[in-house]
Structure 1
Amino acid sequence: MPLTKSLTPAALRNIIRERIHPLENTSGIAAGFLQANVVILHKNLADDFEAFCRANGSPLPLLYRSQTGEWGCPPLAANADIRTDCPQYCVFENGVLTSKVADLLAYTSQLQNMVSFYLGCSFSFESALEKAGVPVRNVEQGKNVSMFRTARSCQRVGGFECPLVVTMRPVPQDKLDIVAQCTHLIPQAHGGPVHIGDPAMLGIRDLNQPEYGDPVEFRPGDVPVFWACGVTGVEAVQCSKPTLAFTHSPGCMFVTDKEDMAASPLTVKPSECPETFCITQNPQHFSVASKATVQKIRQLEEIAVEDPGQRGIRVLFVKDELIRSCLALSHASSVLITTGFPTHFKYDPPEETDGPPGAIAMAATLQALGKRVAVVTDQRALDMHRKIVQDAMERGVIKTAVPLLSFQNTGPDAAIHFLCHDGDPNKPRYDHLVAIERSGRASDGNYYNMRMVNIKHLVDPIDDLFIAASSIPGISTTGIGDGGNELGMGKVKDLVKAHMPNGGVIACDVSADFAVTTGVSNWGGYAVAYGLYLLNCCPIHLRYLQCGLGQPPTAQDQEAWANSLPTVEKEEEFLSILVKYGVRSGKTANLALEVDGLTFHPTHSDIIRRLREVTLPAPSSS
């Protein structure tokens, strides 16, 4: 009987059982039916292994746990026999692979005291991808899928611990959304991708040398997409070293009678439908979030770019820079923030009230999410900023102190040494740099306020850090600005020169990966904080962030994150601290509760309330 996609599972199991046709793997066969990884352990280990599966649900989606000594699996397949119905089995003794066998009949007596676990398999979603018009390269090439051991560790339970194993399929970049959506809808087959992009971010060195399966060829425009893999169960057996255990041979799955039952992405609620975004090209890295979360962050973006001061800032707006920045920050573990625009060169201090509030708001939320945060600013302003941060802690604006740093250009490698451990570009100290209302270097090397006054003598060369970061893999950057002369806004400098007053002179020449344009820069900092909260409360994004491992955040976690967010009360308090230290409104130089000539009440307070309403809608009354 020929082996085809239309072969029924029962017929396939009979072919395997009777040795009618040699079969190297089950990819692309009996399309549309769930396939299963198999792990068989002594009954004394069964409870711990089941708990291990529950704790690591993406690589180990549990389809069925057998009774002790049970050969069949009635919920999954009729007339099945786990001793004979996989094309090949692995035999492990004390965690060591001792042989590969065609069946387990010779071990029937031992199996009477053992429990079989049937775990979901990514082969199950391949037909759904093909129906959606996505090429499945391993099937096209007649190969087993590539499987890799990663540097990510599964959550330990009892004696079971091991690295995560993933499958990799090359996918055309324009198909990433549909791939994420189709596979997310089949959680029993591992669900959506756990990583898209550079394999080194998972600790994978060479896609041509998989630990299991075959290398698969890429076509132009393909991106490597990784799913959690049930061969993680094989790794768990090897690491836990049971006296005797059996597994399927990777790629040689047990085929069930269950159809994959994938829903159409068109019928799924936005909260359950992922969207993909490229967040860095060096290294190439994509992230995901639900459509519902993306929609809310776009609402934040639209609020933050409002222009009550009528500065014409909308011409610099680039859609979705906020969501990309928030996604990149969500993946970061260590963030460096810079602010400080000494526009008031005739006053001491020369700083303005735009920038520091947004910087502190971002820092508070990043800290609540468990990330390391530091602020770098001008040496001459360090003492003042230390006092401001201390006051902010005492008044409850921020919970934990933020380290304050300065940077001086002491030589050609100063920026690399500041950003990287031992000056090694392969060991970055920070994953992401954020500039918010930070004076940016123009093309002539000077720093200008909006009136074209050169304030270079008041500004340290922090731009050099952003320039250096652009060539260091693993560091991404964000610039938040409201005029085009701020650090990072070099990404839109052509628009600044064409549309902003004095743009040809003042335009910042230094780019960031993401240029977040706002009506007032503080609003961009607030929007980032709220966006990070939304992402980390998004199950789709959080699952991707954790590679499908571990447990979701607790209610206490989410409460701590919410408590870190800006409020009208906290921001008014922080603004009063700035005024105490002589920091003035940017446009008017007023020493008052004012930013960029706009009074805190009603303008800024209203923006904060609206950002909060998008992020934390009031509970419905019943």
Structure 2
Amino acid sequence: MKRLLLSYAKAVTGLQYFRGFRTNMKSGFLQANVVILHKDLADDFEAFCHANRSPLPLLYRSKPGEWGCPPLAAQADIRDDCPQYCVFEKGVLVNKVDSLAPYTAQLQDMVTFYLGCSFSFEQALEKAGVPVRNVEQGRNVSMFKTSVPCVKAGPFHCPMVVSMRSVPQIKLDAAAQCTHQIPLAHGGPVHIGHPALLGIKDLSQPDYGDPVELSAGDVPVFWACGVTGAEAVQSTKPALAFTHSPGCMFLTDREEATVSHQASESEECPLTFCISQNPLHYSVASKMAVQRVRAIEELIGEDPGQRGIQALFVQDELLKACLSLSYSSSVLITTGFPTHYMHNPPEETDGPPGAIAMAAMLQALNKHVVMVIDQRALEMNQWIMQDAVDRGVIKSAVPMMSFDSSGPDSALRFLCHDGDPSKPRYDHLVAIERSGRASDGNYYNMRGVNIKHLVDPIDDLFITASAVPGITTTGIGDGGNELGMGKLKKAVKAYMPNGSLIACDVAADFAITAGVSNWGGYAVACALYILNLCSIHRRYVQKGLGLLPTPEQHSLWAASLPSVAKEEEMLHILVKYGVRSGKTANLGLEVDGLTFHPTHSDVIRRLNDLSIEKLQQE
């Protein structure tokens, strides 16, 4: 009956009405994109679909010359069941037709692929209270070619195509959660935020479909799109191929997938977080992963030294910093707090262990990592790093350099190739227990002693980075006088001892507070481990095209977590070079006046327990 109804609508009212008929029918039936290829290419295209499941979720592959698709629709005839078809010859669009009946002879040797379509989740969006702007505006959805390459299979290769729907910021979680439950309609979003991060230059100029206007407060949300199949046809250039015309899908007899009302209660539901305003960028992780990271954040906020650090705590700074680090390709880390100005060296044992723990995990995740250190301490830190490699604390030595401000553009030239803000060398800067510049231009330890003469102006890098789109910064501290803690300056001045004098004036995008700064570094390593084992987050980072981590990768990441043995060895190395405990100046296995056993070792064990527990469920 439905196929007769569609045929009637098509014959009586024409294509334009049929498009409106699709939009307004509210049938609740699953829709499909269509690709028709010669049988000799069919196996390779099926492999291409399996390798790129988000844009090309395969619903059914026909036999050669099979017009119907029994699992999807009764009495179907693919030659006449789409409102409009595209005809390709050698990858070139040569015609658009409303019937493939004239090609019946050629179709005898061709195979039809029915692929999931995002129109199938629009009712789910509406039921979740998410407005569908293209429907409201009576337009086809906007579709764009991206700079994201699909995984190649046989001769098939092409950039991924995405569809865009503008979603109110307060409805982002709902949009991600309800579409996540419908993988046969592309699943959850692959990007939320600035279109240029997908290589899209102008939302008003879609490659397919119609431009759709964003309402005030809306955020562009992008889903993988089945028109990727048409791009694959054009890239591969088969002698003859057919696809549906974008927006003119095959309508099946199957009802759309039902979305559970308990979706938001599931531990595996996605949650969205804004990780950048310039450019606008959101990330996604499962509720389970978020809960684990929050538990880690709570743990490192313990304050055995009774500094009152809880007054600086802001929830999800650890989470957002690590969501951002997941996208990084090159990370610059800095540490070094010369609090012991009466000793040589003046450094303390808080900072370097946490920095190296972060670097170890970032290396395991295949990030390029560099450290910037005060010039006077560069050689010593290079020796420390080599000992850390030799003793198994970190797998590979992290390159080290210093920064000397020799002119107004020194910081920009350090951060960006040729001083060009569009060509940053690093996309994330992390400062951990790094002496931070106060509002009077000096650098103070917790006792209020000015140690400016021992500190290079690495703060300039963070100040400059704040104006470079695409560079994000994180500060980790335990007192408020550390680089990056300027984000919490008001609280530092109000609640920390000597706060009005010592408060760092330089802000980072994310400010992670911890009872001991090293714990913040350990926490970053653990949170990165959790997030990269979260299938929802990993899929999103890889734009829906990534593979699950291999057992070898998993083992490498687990081996890169901080451990009691490695961190105890790290303290032995620091003691060897005369580095002392921050609070007491003791030369021993102590950080900030707290002995490694039992205080620090206990925190490390608990961090590992929180990182590994239940992750296999994801």
TM range (shorter): over 0.9
- Which residues of 2 match residues 2-17 of structure 1 at below 5 A? 9-10=2-3, 12-15=5-8
Cα offset, 1:618, TM superposition = 8.4
The answer on 1:77 being equivalent to 2:73 is yes
The answer on 1:411 being equivalent to 2:442 is no
Residue matched to 1:5: none
Q: Partners of 2:132 and 2:480 in 1: how far apart?
A: 45
Q: CA separation of 1:491/1:113 partners in 2, compared to 1, >3 Å: closer, same or farther?
A: same
Q: Partners of 1:145 and 1:211 in 2: how far apart?
A: 11
For 1:193-216, what per-residue CA distance to the aligned partner results, in whole angstroms no more than 9, with x for missing partners? 000000000000000000000000
Residue matched to 2:381: 385
Q: Partners of 2:588 and 2:24 in 1: how far apart?
A: 69
Of 217, 220, 223, the residue aligned with 2:219 is: 223
Q: Partners of 2:604 and 2:331 in 1: how far apart?
A: 23
Cα offset, 1:617, TM superposition = 2.7
For 1:436-478, what per-residue CA distance to the aligned partner results, in whole angstroms no more than 9, with x for missing partners? 0000000000000000000000000000000001000000110
Of 192, 199, 203, the residue aligned with 1:196 is: 192
Tell me, yes or no, if the aligned pair for 1:478 and 1:488 is still in contact at 8 Å.
yes
Of 385, 390, 397, the residue aligned with 2:393 is: 397
Residue type matched to 1:249 in 2?
Answer: S
Q: Partners of 1:619 and 1:236 in 2: how far apart?
A: 36
- Which residues of 2 match residues 8-87 of structure 1 at below 5 A? 9-10=2-3, 12-15=5-8, 18-23=11-16, 25=19, 26-87=22-83
Residue matched to 1:479: 475
Q: Partners of 1:206 and 1:447 in 2: how far apart?
A: 45
Residue matched to 1:280: 276
The answer on 1:525 being equivalent to 2:521 is yes
Residue matched to 2:485: 489
Q: CA separation of 1:100/1:431 partners in 2, compared to 1, >3 Å: closer, same or farther?
A: same
Cα offset, 1:87, TM superposition = 0.5
Instruction: Look up the SS of the partner of 1:272 in the other structure.
Output: coil
Cα offset, 1:27, TM superposition = 4.1
Residue matched to 1:372: 368
Residue type matched to 1:61 in 2?
Answer: P
Q: Partners of 2:5 and 2:539 in 1: how far apart?
A: 34
For 1:111-164, what per-residue CA distance to the aligned partner results, in whole angstroms no more than 9, with x for missing partners? 010000000000000011111111100000000000000000000000000000
For 1:489-517, what per-residue CA distance to the aligned partner results, in whole angstroms no more than 9, with x for missing partners? 00010000000000000000000000101
Q: Partners of 2:447 and 2:220 in 1: how far apart?
A: 49
Residue type matched to 1:596 in 2?
Answer: D
For 1:530-556, what per-residue CA distance to the aligned partner results, in whole angstroms no more than 9, with x for missing partners? 000111100000000111113211111
Residue type matched to 1:381 in 2?
Answer: A
Tell me, yes or no, if the aligned pair for 2:124 and 2:259 is still in contact at 8 Å.
no
Residue matched to 1:355: 351
Residue matched to 1:169: 165
- Which residues of 2 match residues 488-507 of structure 1 at below 5 A? 488-507=484-503
Instruction: Look up the SS of the partner of 1:348 in the other structure.
Output: coil
The answer on 1:125 being equivalent to 2:118 is no
Tell me, yes or no, if the aligned pair for 2:349 and 2:580 is still in contact at 8 Å.
yes
Instruction: Look up the SS of the partner of 1:22 in the other structure.
Output: helix
Cα offset, 1:14, TM superposition = 2.4
Query: 5+ residue gaps in structure 2?
Result: none
Q: Partners of 1:618 and 1:35 in 2: how far apart?
A: 37
Residue matched to 1:3: none
Tell me, yes or no, if the aligned pair for 2:589 and 2:596 is still in contact at 8 Å.
yes
Instruction: Look up the SS of the partner of 2:15 in the other structure.
Output: coil
Q: CA separation of 1:353/1:31 partners in 2, compared to 1, >3 Å: closer, same or farther?
A: farther
Tell me, yes or no, if the aligned pair for 1:13 and 1:86 is still in contact at 8 Å.
no
- Which residues of 2 match residues 391-470 of structure 1 at below 5 A? 391-470=387-466
Residue type matched to 1:615 in 2?
Answer: S
Query: 5+ residue gaps in structure 1?
Result: 1-7
Tell me, yes or no, if the aligned pair for 2:263 and 2:269 is still in contact at 8 Å.
no
Q: Partners of 1:547 and 1:358 in 2: how far apart?
A: 31
- The range that moved more, 303-312 or 287-296, is 303-312
Residue matched to 2:247: 251
Cα offset, 1:616, TM superposition = 1.3
Of 130, 150, 157, the residue aligned with 2:153 is: 157
The answer on 1:264 being equivalent to 2:260 is yes
Cα offset, 1:12, TM superposition = 4.7
The answer on 1:95 being equivalent to 2:91 is yes
Residue type matched to 1:467 in 2?
Answer: I
The answer on 1:338 being equivalent to 2:338 is no
Instruction: Look up the SS of the partner of 2:254 in the other structure.
Output: strand
Residue matched to 1:590: 586
Tell me, yes or no, if the aligned pair for 1:31 and 1:127 is still in contact at 8 Å.
no
Q: Partners of 1:372 and 1:490 in 2: how far apart?
A: 27
Q: Partners of 1:27 and 1:485 in 2: how far apart?
A: 58
Tell me, yes or no, if the aligned pair for 1:163 and 1:235 is still in contact at 8 Å.
yes
Q: Partners of 1:408 and 1:384 in 2: how far apart?
A: 18
Instruction: Look up the SS of the partner of 1:529 in the other structure.
Output: helix
